[in-house]
């Protein structure tokens, strides 16, 4: 088979949610936006629902519609982008709860769906989404199911922004008798003072930092198409960015940037033959990688890029990015293999 195999451990997703739920001590939702951080929103949400999640968050209404088709009636699906133009009918028909982000969205919602549930997002300093402090009026929250904000620096526990946003959130929501939420994965790890009534873990469910105790969720095995001898002084790949310093054996592997393996890992990433590291050499191309396997006794049929020896965050570090980008870039050409489905 010429396509790579992406193995997704569903039991690990369930265990990660349960671990974060125990840390939260309050209701724990699940963020399944961006197609479940690249692993498949539908199957992730079904797994999380079996684990105990009853509330889900997505980025946009279209994601909410796809999720409702999988989960059916019952679970609450919240939409971070709020009530956008053109969303009204879908929000109504599929019982999606928009997290309103501005006075304009509040006006739109109350005009077109006056009896439909809604939440509010307030900006506490990240300056990305949410009602600004200068626009905020506590009466906006009348009838809301949730008031939330989002931490900018929760993955750095001692960053002063965390305390600053917490204070702003407390000030903006003082006196409200409505459930509140501030913490995603990083906020859960900051402690109970950030948990309020609901936490919303995302990346930690899928095995990523800052949840260092997370169970790994994904592994990626890439088939070797061909192996060749390259003489000392010969180049490999586009633009001759790597030249053999000695006679070498180079394996050509089936995967590339069309599969979400970003070019930034060129010449930096490592693949594994069992426990033996094999350096990626030359440029990542659209469909192919080239890997130095000179030191192996035998050229393997497959090499692993994501494995116990190399997590998504370790690969991200090599590429100068974050685990989120590695996960959400995983392509659709992979043969996806789901294991460990919870009963």
Catalytic residues: 33, 238
Q: Cis check for the bond before 210: say yes or no (omega within 30 of 0).
A: yes
State the Cα–Cα distance between residues 182 and 22, nearest whole angstrom.
17
For residue 160, the surrounding DSSP H or E stretch is helix 160-173
State the Cα–Cα distance between residues 304 and 277, nearest whole angstrom.
9
Angle at 181 between CA 143 and CA 341, to 5 degrees: 110
**Cβ burial 100-138 (10 Å sphere, 16+ → b, else e):** bbbeebbebbbeebeebbbbbbbbbbeeebbbeeeebee
CA atoms within 13 A on the CB side of 241: 14
Map 118-160 to HEC letters.
Answer: CEEEECCCCCCCCECCCCCCHHHHCCCCCEECCCCCCCCCCCH
Q: Among candidates 7, 2, 3, which has minimal Cα distance to 220?
A: 7
Angle at 117 between CA 194 and CA 203, to 5 degrees: 40
Bridging pattern class, strands 242-243 and 276-281 = unpaired
């Amino acid at each position: 088979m010429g396509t790579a195999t992406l193995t997704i451990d569903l039991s690990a997703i369930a265990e990660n949610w349960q671990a974060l739920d125990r840390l939260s001590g309050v209701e724990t939702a699940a963020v399944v936006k961006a197609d479940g951080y690249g692993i498949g929103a539908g199957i992730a949400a079904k797994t999380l629902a079996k684990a105990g999640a009853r509330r889900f968050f997505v980025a946009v209404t279209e994601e909410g519609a796809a999720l409702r088709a999988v989960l059916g009636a019952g679970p609450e699906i919240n939409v971070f982008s709020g009530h956008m133009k053109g969303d009204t009918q879908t929000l109504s028909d599929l019982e999606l709860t928009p997290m309103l982000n501005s006075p304009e969205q509040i006006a739109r919602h109350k005009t077109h769906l006056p009896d439909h549930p809604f939440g509010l997002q307030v900006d506490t300093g990240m300056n990305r989404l949410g009602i600004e402090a200068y626009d905020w009026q506590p009466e906006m929250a009348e009838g809301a199911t949730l008031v939330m904000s989002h931490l900018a620096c929760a993955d750095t526990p001692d960053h002063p922004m965390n305390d600053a946003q917490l204070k702003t959130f407390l000030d903006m929501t003082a006196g409200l008798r409505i459930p509140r939420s501030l913490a995603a994965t990083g906020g859960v790890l900051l402690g109970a003072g950030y948990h309020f009534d609901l936490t919303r873990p995302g990346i930690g469910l899928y095995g990523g930092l800052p949840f260092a105790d997370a169970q790994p969720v994904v592994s990626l095995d890439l088939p070797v198409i061909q192996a060749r001898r390259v003489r000392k002084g010969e180049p490999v790949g586009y633009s001759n960015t790597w030249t053999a310093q000695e006679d070498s054996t180079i394996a050509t592997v089936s995967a590339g940037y069309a599969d979400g393996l970003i070019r930034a890992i060129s010449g930096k990433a490592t693949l594994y033959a069992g426990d033996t590291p094999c350096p990626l050499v030359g440029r990542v191309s659209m469909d192919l990688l080239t890997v130095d396997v000179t030191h192996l006794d035998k050229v393997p049929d497959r090499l692993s890029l994501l494995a116990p020896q190399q997590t998504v965050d370790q690969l991200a570090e090599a590429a100068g990015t974050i685990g989120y980008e590695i996960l959400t870039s995983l392509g659709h050409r992979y043969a996806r293999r789901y294991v460990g489905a919870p009963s």
